[in-house]
Structure 1
């Protein structure tokens, strides 16, 4: 905690607490956007602006320019106005002079230091605070290298600020040593200014004027001056190991040739237009002709011939349609054979919704993997194919951390055991692709570079593992051969597939539940369980035992995992109602004693604290959604699944503590793993009691016996199975009609 930041927070709350539109900030001594927004609103209030906002926009900047174009000890209008400046300085890590309302020598020195760090000391000499400087003060941009930033990039940032800060639409950028969206735009503005574009015309967008201008500014060995520096800066920002300087040398030419080879540009070693374009914007030159494409349209013979005639070799097609969408983009029967017959190769793309961060999480990734595997095998993609899982929205970095990476962990977990013959690819913006690859969760990237405005593309370099680079949407051909495609550059990392072995779709499999029928199903489940003496909540007769989950709670968990449960059941060709019954039962019957047992297992395996007389500290417990013991039945059930080819995994020993601990942790922490294991336990249980394997036409009695074995051998297992078979029938009543729609 910083005491002076805390003092700034107290100043905001005490001085402006009664002002409408200025909200109280948390007094925690930590700089944040909330504090900077509050200071911006305080400034707006002092300027007489009535519509207060977090945005330090044109209105705030214009008011400062009119009233106080240069703030210093002589011109600062009030003590509180000065305190806003002092508070901003402290929040930025500079000496604000005690927040006493005096623009003293300490404040003056801090302002001079701030300008030097920004690179604008020559542009704005002295200790005056100009409007743009004030805007740079009241944000979270650092002006010193942070988080292992590059001193070379900081040099670029300061040079850009110093040379262009007095231009109307150029605002001071961070000097933290990291490439970013704002740095990319600043570099583009700099190029436009050097092309003699006037204020109001220069906008930081890679438009026709910029493209035309760059075609006249090829950089080659011997080029000196600002254009050489700008090109060298673009190389540095694209992680090329070159010196900055104002000269383009043989060493720069060699680095350019390496970049051109990497980006699949003509290897000239010169800073020509296409190279400028690839350094500055994610599409590069969007008129480049690719050799790969993807499309939502069926490839007919006529369309295939068009693509071949235009030089295309690889076609990306979608494994499935998006549920609830009218867009029919799925691969059609016979289409892949037709593609191959015409000399093209195909690569598969899996995308359901995927258009917002809320879609992505671990269990959804696991569910998507099951579905993608089913579809890939149905269409006939053989071992070695790479499935590209789509992230089709502008995921910012924190969403990559919180949503996308867990999602791909779920994909990898399922693929490693259920589809190891396929590779995992990713479709998405540059940052998303690079970060997922960096976690070892993908083997190649299909980059959505056509989305030039995505924050995940701006300021990020082309992923090192790129296979396809999507740069434009075009129409090719005519008549029956006319088709709209996304034009992609191919790196050669993935050459697609040319041989397919399609499998007929299995009939009678369960489908995802129609959530419009959710309330009706829940009502029937409640009525049935209550008729069997299981109330909506509670019901335990044991003293001190608490059952925190109601029937509604347990049902909500099941519905949350409906997609995953459905896909597990489809994969194993069992009824999803058979899997749902023990899961719902165990979630509903969960007690505080189960938590205590789980804690004992953690203690046993992590602390070595075990006493045979202690009933709670043991090597194993029933855990997770399905309340499954690791040693028995999980390990024997998984071993059977391995032997029968349902999964690819190691055979484990239920008497080996390290094996038990490995599986127990996954059962405890990974709901997707627990659900899949519950299905394997059901299949193993039938094997254990000598009845046929569960299937889509399983008899009622075999279903009951399988449910009974899941619960064990005690008398309560028999009683529970009699109740659960009725619960199974309730679910089947609602699931059966959906299978025929």
Structure 2
């Protein structure tokens, strides 16, 4: 909703005709663009030539020298208007934007500094550090999901340390964050006794030694205990209060945290406990019992790992396409590891190094590929596959990219994983948010990336299985191997027995797009010469208006070639048996199909004007009842996961119909289940790579029904099947 006074603030900004002060949209909504513009306006009023979005040392020092406090005695109209504008953008009463420090401004500044926790530190008015904080989007009241306890700590730190040179006012919004984590580190360094020239907010050797010199235990009191309980609160340890007294209850809470983080359970504020509260690696010198590596575990390396105390090793299911790095599991490697007492947990990563990689379609592809590779290596049901997010994802990127990606992974794993579990490798925030959405069951945390914003200011995920904290080398000579050293929670013990490796060389692969035009020409020729279907329009004598040309239908089929290929490989059937009806139904989509869809929608929209509760729909033109029958058959056969549905139940029918109608991936994924159930219905074997042409024809005929027209359909689809096979078969085994 637009705020009229924010609009006035925006108009004030736009009244400047100064290079370096950009115009802002006058929409009544605050944001960083507005705050940056106000910052530039302040710099201009201070006479700073090089205007910047950053309220940095030059701005701070110049403001300190010229206006050490802005109050009723200030006579700089434009700077006062900047204060008033910023107050409105922060949600406070600016008393108008008239260039005066009136009573409303004074009251709002007092309220602001109280909310910041610095009202007892500074005299009335706006001092430079308050001005700097005012020109941010930081909040000083608890925001959605925030904690009053966390806010109390934030206010306390502001009030106690804001006088130090490099300590700036942190938000008091009840949320732990990167800035709050750094502020806590500064506070610890100040209590150690570091000067402003030494304290830097980094968990370096001096800070570590200072913590070792100040151990805490039951009976301790003072500021160090306050800082320790602050760190516990920031790490979301339930039942901890902000206090300066280390009592028995706090010792109990500390033991709980130590057990959670797999630290020595002492109940004391010792160095390792402090470290785990302050930085993502914790004490990076800790020795783990799990490792992950890109190097093959040979006999000699297995001995080195075993002798160094490692019990579980993470290995990769695949390589990254178009790179020379060979990191995937080698044939026989898992059995070799098991012989030396080493279990394995599989990691799936092809790229995953930027937000653009993550999307629903890629999640579907990754899940199918990971399932196939896991089966290839013989991983048994119950194995958890960790899908990698190998970059510092910002929170909005988690929302926009990673969550849809992992939802797709979850859906495919649930349907086709046959007992495989879904895990995630990534920064703390990513792991926690994906787990909270219900898409994963355990996290492999890349805590070694201490500078990631997704690790700074976030607690260790509650479902962590492996905590990656350092890169080290173990062994010597032929047994030398570089590994990432991981702490183990016990949530995942890996696998140490395997099924025989599964051969997939005889299965179909993706289309050779260099032959795409040739395939299209053959499809066009077959449809025209054998079925009377020209490039555009319907078949000869057809009454309904078709909406797609042959080329358009073919392009749609090719856009889903990856999905069709993965489905064919998963069910170990020929691609052509999926491609044939999918191409035909997509091509022949017509006005009667639209009428049927609208009738079904009318039936369920509450008007009661239509009695039609089902119709063929989507790219594959599948009835909901048919989809339910096909999926139920495959669930009972153990081919897919899912819940049995009832085609006589209109809730089930409507739910499935909507997915068939709206979701191309769901529709196409349903098509093989319909073919499999149809084969069983007509008494022929499940479609496979060796299915005879007659059984293929009967299966394709059943896709269309059971009458004579269906037999004609089967004959026609068998011819189309042959066209696709002409191009698919030569690629197998390459």
Q: Give the corresponding residue for 1:10.
A: 11
Distance in 1 of aligned mates of 2:10 and 2:543: 51
User: Structure 2 residue aligned with 1:656, among 635, 643, 649?
Assistant: 649
Worse overlay, 531-540 or 337-346: 531-540
- Contact 1:530 / 1:536 at 8 angstroms: preserved in 2? no
Q: Give the corresponding residue for 2:388.
A: 390
Distance in 2 of aligned mates of 1:95 and 1:477: 67
1:297 aligns with 2:295: yes
Distance in 2 of aligned mates of 1:136 and 1:354: 36
- Structure 1, gaps ≥5 residues long: none
SS at match of 1:97: coil
Q: Give the corresponding residue for 1:154.
A: 151
Distance in 1 of aligned mates of 2:702 and 2:45: 74
Q: Give the corresponding residue for 2:41.
A: 42
Deviation at 1:392, TM superposition (A): 1.9
Distance in 1 of aligned mates of 2:207 and 2:593: 66
SS at match of 1:39: helix
- Contact 1:529 / 1:727 at 8 angstroms: preserved in 2? no
Q: Give the corresponding residue for 1:668.
A: 661
User: Structure 2 residue aligned with 1:315, among 313, 316, 321?
Assistant: 313
Q: Give the corresponding residue for 1:368.
A: 366
Worse overlay, 411-420 or 426-435: 411-420
Worse overlay, 475-484 or 129-138: 129-138
Deviation at 1:487, TM superposition (A): 0.5
Q: Give the corresponding residue for 2:639.
A: 646
CA separation of 1:573/1:77 partners in 2, compared to 1, >3 Å: closer, same or farther?
A: same
Q: Give the corresponding residue for 1:679.
A: 672
Q: How does 1:155-174 map to 2 (within 5 A)?
A: 155-174=152-171
Q: Give the corresponding residue for 1:184.
A: 181
Q: Give the corresponding residue for 2:475.
A: 477
Deviation at 1:320, TM superposition (A): 2.0
Q: How does 1:108-257 map to 2 (within 5 A)?
A: 108-127=106-125, 129-240=126-237, 241-257=239-255
Distance in 1 of aligned mates of 2:354 and 2:131: 35
- Contact 2:619 / 2:667 at 8 angstroms: preserved in 1? yes
User: Structure 1 residue aligned with 2:616, among 622, 627, 645?
Assistant: 622
CA separation of 1:64/1:326 partners in 2, compared to 1, >3 Å: closer, same or farther?
A: same
CA separation of 1:11/1:677 partners in 2, compared to 1, >3 Å: closer, same or farther?
A: same
Q: Give the corresponding residue for 1:90.
A: 88
TM-score normalised by length of structure 1: 0.89
Q: Give the corresponding residue for 2:498.
A: 500
1:529 aligns with 2:524: yes
CA separation of 1:107/1:304 partners in 2, compared to 1, >3 Å: closer, same or farther?
A: same
- Contact 2:520 / 2:551 at 8 angstroms: preserved in 1? no
Deviation at 1:712, TM superposition (A): 5.5
- Contact 2:313 / 2:345 at 8 angstroms: preserved in 1? yes
CA separation of 1:639/1:43 partners in 2, compared to 1, >3 Å: closer, same or farther?
A: same
- Contact 2:418 / 2:639 at 8 angstroms: preserved in 1? no
Distance in 2 of aligned mates of 1:40 and 1:624: 54
Q: Give the corresponding residue for 1:601.
A: 600
Worse overlay, 229-238 or 680-689: 680-689
SS at match of 1:469: strand
Residues 11-62 of structure 1: CA distance to partner in whole angstroms, max 9, x if unpaired? 334x13x544444433332222232233333334444455544333344434
Distance in 2 of aligned mates of 1:173 and 1:258: 29
CA separation of 1:54/1:379 partners in 2, compared to 1, >3 Å: closer, same or farther?
A: same
Deviation at 1:233, TM superposition (A): 0.8
CA separation of 1:555/1:287 partners in 2, compared to 1, >3 Å: closer, same or farther?
A: farther
Distance in 1 of aligned mates of 2:55 and 2:579: 54
- Structure 2, gaps ≥5 residues long: none
Distance in 2 of aligned mates of 1:200 and 1:425: 44
Distance in 2 of aligned mates of 1:54 and 1:265: 43
Worse overlay, 452-461 or 580-589: 580-589
Deviation at 1:550, TM superposition (A): 6.6
Q: Give the corresponding residue for 2:447.
A: 449
Residues 621-659 of structure 1: CA distance to partner in whole angstroms, max 9, x if unpaired? 23333232111x312322332344322344444333233
Residues 414-471 of structure 1: CA distance to partner in whole angstroms, max 9, x if unpaired? 2223234222222222222222222332222211111111222111111222211111
Deviation at 1:546, TM superposition (A): 7.7
- Contact 1:471 / 1:486 at 8 angstroms: preserved in 2? yes
Q: Give the corresponding residue for 2:266.
A: 268
CA separation of 1:74/1:370 partners in 2, compared to 1, >3 Å: closer, same or farther?
A: same
Worse overlay, 18-27 or 243-252: 18-27
Deviation at 1:673, TM superposition (A): 2.4
Deviation at 1:704, TM superposition (A): 6.3
- Contact 2:21 / 2:40 at 8 angstroms: preserved in 1? yes
CA separation of 1:529/1:136 partners in 2, compared to 1, >3 Å: closer, same or farther?
A: farther
Distance in 1 of aligned mates of 2:425 and 2:57: 38
SS at match of 1:98: coil
Distance in 1 of aligned mates of 2:663 and 2:686: 26
Worse overlay, 222-231 or 532-541: 532-541
Distance in 2 of aligned mates of 1:727 and 1:164: 76
CA separation of 1:644/1:254 partners in 2, compared to 1, >3 Å: closer, same or farther?
A: closer
CA separation of 1:474/1:509 partners in 2, compared to 1, >3 Å: closer, same or farther?
A: same
Distance in 1 of aligned mates of 2:691 and 2:19: 68
CA separation of 1:738/1:458 partners in 2, compared to 1, >3 Å: closer, same or farther?
A: farther
Residues 554-592 of structure 1: CA distance to partner in whole angstroms, max 9, x if unpaired? 566545544332211101122334423443444455467
User: Structure 2 residue aligned with 1:325, among 308, 323, 326?
Assistant: 323
Instruction: Number of aligned residue pairs: give it.
Output: 727
Distance in 2 of aligned mates of 1:426 and 1:144: 34
SS at match of 2:96: helix
Residues 195-235 of structure 1: CA distance to partner in whole angstroms, max 9, x if unpaired? 23333532222122221221111112232222121111111
Deviation at 1:373, TM superposition (A): 1.9
Deviation at 1:159, TM superposition (A): 1.4
Distance in 2 of aligned mates of 1:107 and 1:373: 63
Q: How does 1:513-528 map to 2 (within 5 A)?
A: 513=511, 517=513, 521=516, 525=520
- Contact 2:537 / 2:545 at 8 angstroms: preserved in 1? no
SS at match of 2:443: strand
Distance in 2 of aligned mates of 1:144 and 1:186: 18
Distance in 1 of aligned mates of 2:534 and 2:71: 73
SS at match of 1:464: coil
Deviation at 1:95, TM superposition (A): 0.5
Distance in 1 of aligned mates of 2:48 and 2:596: 62
Deviation at 1:740, TM superposition (A): 4.3
